[in-house]
Structures are given as structure tokens and as C-alpha cells.
Amino acid sequence: MKRDFLHIVDFSSEEIQELLDLAVRLKKEYQEKGENPPLLKGKVLGMIFQKPSLRTRVSFDMAMRHLGGDALYLSPQEIGLGKREAISDVARVLSGYVHAIMARVFDHEHVLELARWASVPVINGLSDYNHPCQAMADALTIQEVFGKQKGLNITFVGDGNNVAVSLMHICVRLGWNFTIANPEGYDLNPRAVAQAQEIAAQTGSRLRFLRDPHEAVRDADVIYTDTWTSMGQEEEAAQREKVFPPYQVNAQLVSEARPHVIVMHCLPAHRGQELTDEVADGPHSVIFPQAHNRLHAQKAILARLFNVL
């Protein structure tokens, strides 16, 4: 039976940690030997993009190459998902051509429908609801710095967006505490919060939902931020630029966290808005190792979905 990678909460805490351990193994192997075994030789990943991408496209393409497979890029103009052709038809057609599908979409329902109709595994490369592949790279980066210890304090500062949803979910799966500070009207999805609360009750994670970023970063081991305006929200940009300046991650805010705090951002960053140059390029920043870990986390996801490891 095929398995998809659509939400962090679809996987148990043990399964998430196994994927992270596999990512560590594949990364170490590649760094030491300059290659991974061709586990996916003869396999092709079809990559559907409604949104442009640097990290998602290149990391998935290179992940397939590292594992001996191929990736096929499908642009928005080529498919017109849900417009030019029914999603159910796209899913069934592609299932006869490729061995797995990765989709980066605006509407979360589109990736769910792809998975519903595809007979091959479907990976959520980003939707307006969540970003599970990013969360895997985030957790890999955090564990590289702090190990597998429980009770870490992860603080997200900014919009309660898709990245924040998946970060919250992986935190509670791994027994970390999650805090978000966001302006009123930019809260996390209530359904996502309810799921996190249910998991936190089992794993012992603590969840906090605050307005004050200064209170939120107190005792933080990780400060995470993201763009104030995501793709598809451009008409809100002017309003958001009035609301979010108090949530900028700058040197003062970082100084209020624990001395060993690391600063994360999923990129692309709007420097001078949610994140200052001083912090992005400073000693606490891990934003580039974090970006590079997309490659290794996704190799683990692909290997597991293809049942080769």
C-alpha cells in the first residue's frame, strides 16, 4: 500500500525520528564518500509547481540525483492544475509515467486531491496550510545543534502561517515546547492547533500562544521567523508591513533569548523586514545549514516512500 507525505501529524513520533536518523545517515554518507548508493535507480519523481521555488526544486532534484534517480520539473503553464485539466485526471495520468509526485501548490485541497487519485506516493512540497518537508529540515538542523534532548524551547515569531503549522507539529511530535508570538488576526489555523494540543498531551510538550515577541523569546533555544507576506498574499503586503515591524528578529530580540540560541528562517528572507542582516549573517544564524538540510531530509523521505530503506 502506498504512503504519502502530506502532514507531519500523519506520522508517529517514532516514525519522524526514524526519518531524521535516516537523513543523518544519508548526509554523513554523502559527506564522507561524496555519494549515496543509487537506491532510486530507474525511479522518476514528477515535480508539479504552482509556485516558484529555489530550495524545493533544487533540493528535490538533487536528492533524486544523489540516490540515482531522476526528477521531472512540471511548470505551472504545463499543467494548470485544476484549471486546464481536472486534478483527478492529472494524478491518474502522471501515475502511469512517474514513480512518485511532489507538488508545491497554493491550495492545500489540491495536494490532497492529487494524493486521493494518484496510485504513486505524493509529497506535499508546500501548500497554503503547511510545509512538512521544511519542518523535517528544521528538526534535522535543531538536532544537529542540540541533539535529541526533549524539552527544547522553540519560538516562532511572526505570521501563523504554513511553516509555523508544520514547525508546531514536529515540535510536539519530538517532545519540544513550541511558542508563537504573532499579531492579532494572524493566528495559527485552529484545526492545526487542536491537533498539536492532542499530541502534546501525549508527548509532554508545552504550547504557548502569545502576542509579545519579547516574552516569547525568553528562555528560547531556537528563534524562528518567516516572511510577513507569503506568496498569494501580495495584496495584503502593505497592511502587513504596518502590522509586523514589532515582530522583527533583530539583535535586541536575540539578546533576550538564551545565550546559545540559534536563529532559523525557511527562506527566502526579506532582509530588513522580518530579519535583519546583522542577525541573518551573525553568529546565532543557522539559516544556510538549515536550507542545505532540505536536501538530506528529503532524501530520507524519498527513500522511505519508495521503500528502499
Burial grade of 3 (CB within 10 A; 0-12, 13-18, 19 or more)? middle
pLDDT, tens digit only, all 309 positions of the chain = 899 999 999 999 999 999 999 999 999 999 999 999 999 999 999 999 998 899 999 999 999 999 999 999 999 888 878 788 899 999 999 999 999 999 999 999 999 999 999 999 999 999 999 999 999 999 999 999 999 999 999 999 999 999 999 999 999 999 999 999 999 999 999 999 999 999 999 999 999 999 999 999 999 999 999 999 876 777 888 899 999 999 999 999 999 999 999 999 999 999 999 999 999 999 999 999 999 999 999 999 999 999 998
125 and 54, same domain (yes or no): yes
Q: Give the H or E element holding residue 46.
A: strand 44-49
221 and 104, same domain (yes or no): no
In a domain, 118, yes or no: yes
Candidates 7, 66, 110, 131; catalytic one: 131
Domain range spanning residue 147? 134-290
Number of domains in the chain: 2
87 and 174, same domain (yes or no): no
Q: Cβ(48)–Cβ(118) under 8 Å? A: no
Which amino acid would we find at residue 192? A
Does the annotation count 104 as an active-site position? Answer: yes
283 and 161, same domain (yes or no): yes
140 and 199, same domain (yes or no): yes
102 and 213, same domain (yes or no): no
142 and 274, same domain (yes or no): yes
Candidates 7, 66, 134, 304; catalytic one: 134
Does the annotation count 226 as an active-site position? Answer: yes
| Angle at 66 (CA atoms; ends 146, 16), nearest 5 degrees | 40
Does the annotation count 294 as an active-site position? Answer: yes
User: Per the confidence metrics, is the pTM higher than 0.95?
Assistant: yes
